[in-house]
Amino acid sequence: MKTMKTYIKLFALSSLFVLGACSEEFLETEPYTQKVTENFYKTPADAFQGLVAVYDVLQREAYGGPLLISEQASDDCFGGYGIADGQADIEWDRFLYVSDKDMNKDVWSNAYLGIYRANILLENLDKINWGTDTALKTRYEAEARFLRAHFHFTAAKMFGDIIPLDHTITSSEFTLPRQAPEVTYALIANDLKFAADNLGSENYSQKGNTNFGRITKWAAEAYIARTFLFYTGVYSKPDLAGVVTKAQAVTYINDAVNNSGHNLVPDFANLWLAASLENFVGEDNTEMVWAVRFNGSGKGDWNLHEGNRFQVNIAPRGGAIGRYASGWGGATVNPKLVAAYDNADTRKKASFIDFVGENLNFNAEAREQRQYTGYSWKKYCPITNAAGTSIVEANGGNFQIDNYQDYAIIRFADVLLMAAELNLDSNPAVAQANLDRVRDRAFKNTTNRKTVSKAVIMEERQLELALEGQRYFDLLRQGMVETKKAIDNTTGGSQFAVTFRSETLGWFPLPQSQIVLSNGTITQNPGW
């Protein structure tokens, strides 16, 4: 967050380890050594700093954890990276668990760090002297509860059964067991409902809005729809943990479509810097319902978390090529994904770097690129200036940690597709209209429409949201048969061989360190 980020160093709570002995640790000890929970929360400004600390975890989370891992695990991408790099990325791709028993540690720990910080703030709101501004208290509570829900959902969609926490744990709770999904999702749903019902109708996507990146009513309504579709699909339930009915989910998502003020950017390519360059619409655009903010102002300081450290992972390996800056070549794009697009679909050219098609001489052997397919990420790819120097380095930053593009968690196109899916049975005309808006933008005409159906919507989600961290979870909610059918791969030789193991139920392995810390209360997921 470009504005809120200014304050993060003042109050950045951390945990020594998660679900073990939790403690508070300030990232800076001077001049704030006397600021602890007991004497800190007094003013609304203190509460704001505590809220910023919760938002800060989003930046750590977005470095490539759930987004990158889920794309590698899906049929969108292979593992990628270099031939001499570690095996974890290959193992996410191939559903193995051999080289690093803590390969998912960062996903788990970041999720619970976010939950911990949110609970700290929520438990201290009543200590604040709010004066007559009780509306501000409600706003901060709504934002914190939304973020707590987000972090719970991040862990739950990756690991299945988790430990839901609506409070900071005491020493007697260090070995809490995992709970049934309905317990976790009831907490998620109640938190999201509180946010949706208590936040105002502000829309922060206007250019230059200092609150861009903060939670809104519209983000909460869209997130209710996302969790509803995942939970009801994966667990074959009629509602969201007894808290949100389908009718309510429909009402929320239709409200976001009709009343949020969000809209589609006319040209899909202009959403992505590397696809549009001078025509880039900017990150605070009408389509961004919620995005994680980065600014790259750290200028090479590894102790700060200002820049987007994810981008270097997917950029072309072995040096800049054309206008694309150098990176590590992670998550090689599956040619099957590229081939799924109609050539008239503008999303095809805007989403992927086609090395051959763009006349880029990418020597995979010389660059030591593992699993070269001829395609890479154009979405989120950092760029160079006219002289061939990465923009980041030209501005005095480090190309590994100071990239600055925001990470879109919810785009309005996703809102429209969720609305199409939720309205499919009860309001087929509404479902059709929402699908049409997405396809009309993609083809820049109205002659490529398809009759709406569940299968058509899922296909459209893959095309529209490719490389945005949604595909794997969309597959899981269609069941193990469809997931395996999509992911299994036997073409391209042994280095591209992938076999989805249905016995895992799609859940990733828990970090072994957490199993050890729990003294056996937590057991490993099935199939691992």
pLDDT in tens, 431-478: 999 999 999 999 999 999 999 999 999 999 999 999 999 999 999 999
- The tens digit of pLDDT for each residue in 124-140 reads 999 999 999 999 999 99
* Distance, CA of 496 to CA of 488 (rounded, Å): 10
pLDDT in the model for residue 35: 54
Q: Tell me the residue type at 157.
A: K
Residue 2 has pLDDT above 60, yes or no: no
Question: Model confidence over 206-248: pLDDT tens digits?
Answer: 888 889 999 999 999 999 999 999 999 999 999 999 999 999 9
Banded pLDDT at 12 (limits 50, 70, 90): very low
Specify the residue for token string 């993609």: 442
Q: How far apart are the first and last CA of the chain?
A: 37
When pLDDT is cut at 50, 70 and 90, the band that residue 298 belongs to is: confident
* Residue 149 · residue 115 · CB < 8 Å: no
Q: 399-434 b/e with 16+ CB inside 10 Å = b?
A: bbbbbbbbbbbbbbbbbbbbbbbbbbeebeebbbbb
Query: What tokens were used for 349?
Result: 């050219």
> In this structure, what are the phi and psi dihedrals at residue 126, rounded to the nearest 5 degrees?
-75, -10
Q: What are the tens digits of pLDDT across the range 252-278?
A: 999 999 999 999 999 999 999 999 999
pLDDT digits (tens, 9 = 90+) for 319-348: 999 999 999 999 999 999 999 999 999 999
Please, which pLDDT band fits residue 64 given cuts at 50, 70 and 90? low
Give the pairing of strands 375-377 and 288-292: unpaired
What sign does the dihedral 517-522-523-527 (CA atoms) show? Answer: negative
Contacts 24+ apart (CB under 8 A), 229-237: 229/418, 229/421, 229/422, 229/477, 230/153, 230/157, 230/473, 230/476, 230/477, 231/181, 231/185, 232/477, 233/476, 233/477, 233/478, 234/476, 234/477, 234/506, 235/181, 235/182, 237/182
CA separation for the pair 258, 193 (Å, rounded): 19
Task: Assign 37 a pLDDT band (cuts: 50, 70, 90).
Answer: low
- Listing DSSP states for 263-295 in one string gives ---SSGGGGSHHHHGGG---SSSTTEEEEE---
For 37, 160, 454, 474, the CA distances from 525, given in Å and listed in that order, are 36, 8, 30, 20
CA–CA separation, 282 vs 49, rounded Å? 27
Distance CA 38, CA 302 (A): 30
Secondary structure letter of residue 365 according to DSSP = T
- 407 Cβ partners below 8 Å, 6+ apart? 62, 67, 291, 292, 294, 308, 310, 380
Q: Mean per-residue pLDDT for 484-494? A: 97
Alpha carbons within 13 angstroms on the beta-carbon side of residue 283 total 21
In DSSP terms, 290 is beta-bridged to: 410
Average pLDDT of the chain is 91
Residue 36: is its pLDDT beyond 90?
no
pLDDT value at position 26?
A: 25
Specify the 3-state DSSP secondary structure of 156.
helix
pLDDT confidence bin for 528, thresholds 50/70/90:
very high
Report percent pLDDT > 70 for the chain: 93
Closest by CA to 317, choosing from 330, 308, 298, is 330
pLDDT at 9 over 70: no
Is residue 224 within 8 Å of residue 232, measured between CB atoms?
no
Q: Where are the domains of the chain?
A: 1-179+467-528, 294-405
On the CB side of 302, CA atoms within 13 Å amount to: 1
d(CA 466, CA 460): 10
- Fold category of 1-179+467-528 in CATH: 1.25.40
Strands annotated E in 398-466: 407-411
3-state secondary structure of 350: helix
Distances (CA, A) of 184 to 21, 68, 143, 187, 223: 22, 24, 19, 5, 15
The secondary element (H helix, E strand) that includes residue 377 is strand 375-377
60: burial class by Cβ within 10 Å (0-12, 13-18, 19+)? middle
More confident residue, 384 or 170: 384
Question: DSSP characters for 296-349?
Answer: -TTTT-TT---S-TTHHHHSPBTS-BTTBPPB--BSPBPHHHHHTS-TT-HHHH
Closest CA to 141 of 75, 51, 27, 67: 51
CA angle 223, 1, 154 (to 5 degrees): 35
